[in-house]
Amino acid sequence: MVVTLRDVAEAAGVHPGTASRALNNPSEVNAKTAARVRRMAARLGYVPNPNARGLKTSRSNLLGVVIPDLTNPLFPPIIRGIDDTVGERGFRAVIVNTDTDLGKEVEQVQALRARQVDGLLVCTAMLHHPLFQRLQEEKFPLVYLVRTVADSHVSSVTGDDASGITMIVDHLAQLGHRHIAHIAGPQDNSAGVRRLRAFESAMSDLGLPVREGMIVIADKFQEEHGAVAARRLLDDDHQVTAIVAANDLLALGTYDTLSDRGLHCPDDVSVTGFNDMPFLDKISPPLTSINVPRYEIGAQGATLLLEALTAPQTYQPRSVQLPVQLVVRGSTRAPAAAIATGNRRRHLPAGLATSQSV
């Protein structure tokens, strides 16, 4: 039904073994025969069967991509970066969603390994992560994306969380904010931790006080949890004039809480996000955020993994932190007090800043 290597070999008048070499390691074969075989292969439209090859070589030219949830807008660009990069080199990415469920993760990774994936790109890393730690120990090719693990003997590609937060804090300070709070992400992963640490450093570098209660840790990087954290923050009033959320969804949750309380962003409180999700420029108010080069993270992570696979002798694991960019939009503004001294304060009509839902 389909043309096999054997057919090519017959057509070229050689043994299948030779045909295989001609196609894969032409240097081990007489140039003329090699050429003949390749010509025949082309003419017959021969396409190697990856199943058979994989069965023999226990390699599949398949890479597994482990993400929490494809519908989180953070991931599609990363995956495009991966796909475009590996596609050129004959590899294919296979995506699995774990929904941040450890059991599911084990199951999915197992399924990927059953498929003989040659390596894994992991976006679900927690600081301590038994599953992937075990894989690392087995020397299974692995690259962490977006988040990394405590151990540094493995490659990772992330955005530069620290400078991102520093840029944000500097930006707010420059606007005149002094009472800046942080809604931190969960501290079981590198992004949450790094951003929190960077916040503390940046504040201290500027000589700004961070009083007890001005840092609240959200349970998850999700809107609802941002809303909860913001409530806690506002409950013990710290004259907060700006809130640095550890990611965009937490910031959106903060919006919700603000409008519940009749407060307006940015008039009463400035808010910032992190990641620069799509459509942030269209929401109300448009969210100031940190753009992380998601496509690039995918592309570079894929490149690293391919290097690990194709040149294992020379491969050196490394942690890449890609530069990020501050994107100033309408959610940050000088604090009311500062405005009073210089500018005039404009007030939005009530309700307009509200993040409406259906």
Residue 245 tokens read as 């959320």
Q: Which residue has the tokens 């993270």?
A: 297
- Residue from the set 38, 53, 197, 329 that interacts with DNA by CB under 7 A: 53
Work out how close the CB of 224 gets to a copy of itself at its nearest, in angstroms, rounded to a whole number.
Answer: 14
- Residue from the set 39, 42, 43, 49 that interacts with DNA by CB under 7 A: 49
Segment 87-126, which members bind a copy of itself (CB under 8 A)?
87, 92-97, 110-111, 113-116
- Positive or negative, the CA dihedral 243, 248, 252, 257 is negative
Instruction: Please give the Cα distance from 228 to 219 (Å, whole number).
Output: 9
Residue 168 tokens read as 């944000």
Query: Concatenated DSSP letters for 105-170?
Result: HHHHHHHHHHTT-SEEEES---SS-HHHHHHHHTT--EEEESS--S--SSEEEEE-HHHHHHHHHH
Segment 268-327, which members bind a copy of itself (CB under 8 A)?
278-279, 281-284, 286, 327
332 is a site residue for DNA (CB under 7 A): no
Segment 5-44, which members bind DNA (CB under 7 A)?
5-6, 13-18, 20-21, 23-24, 28-30, 32-34
Cis peptide before 266 (omega within 30 of 0): yes
CB distance 329 to 287 below 8 Å: yes
Contact of residue 26 among DNA, a copy of itself, none (CB under 5-8 Å per partner type): none
* Orientation of helix 190-205 relative to helix 161-175, angle to 10°: 40
350 is a site residue for DNA (CB under 7 A): no
Work out how close the CB of 112 gets to a copy of itself at its nearest, in angstroms, rounded to a whole number.
Answer: 9
| Surface-to-core class of residue 54, CB atoms within 10 Å of its CB (0-12 exposed, 13-18 middle, 19+ buried) | middle
Contact of residue 102 among a copy of itself, DNA, none (CB under 5-8 Å per partner type): none
Work out how close the CB of 81 gets to a copy of itself at its nearest, in angstroms, rounded to a whole number.
Answer: 10
CB distance 318 to 304 below 8 Å: yes
Work out how close the CB of 215 gets to a copy of itself at its nearest, in angstroms, rounded to a whole number.
Answer: 26
- Residue from the set 156, 158, 163, 355 that interacts with a copy of itself by CB under 8 A: 355
| Binding residues for DNA (CB under 7 A) | 2, 4-6, 13-18, 20-21, 23-24, 28-30, 32-34, 46, 48-49, 52-53, 55-58
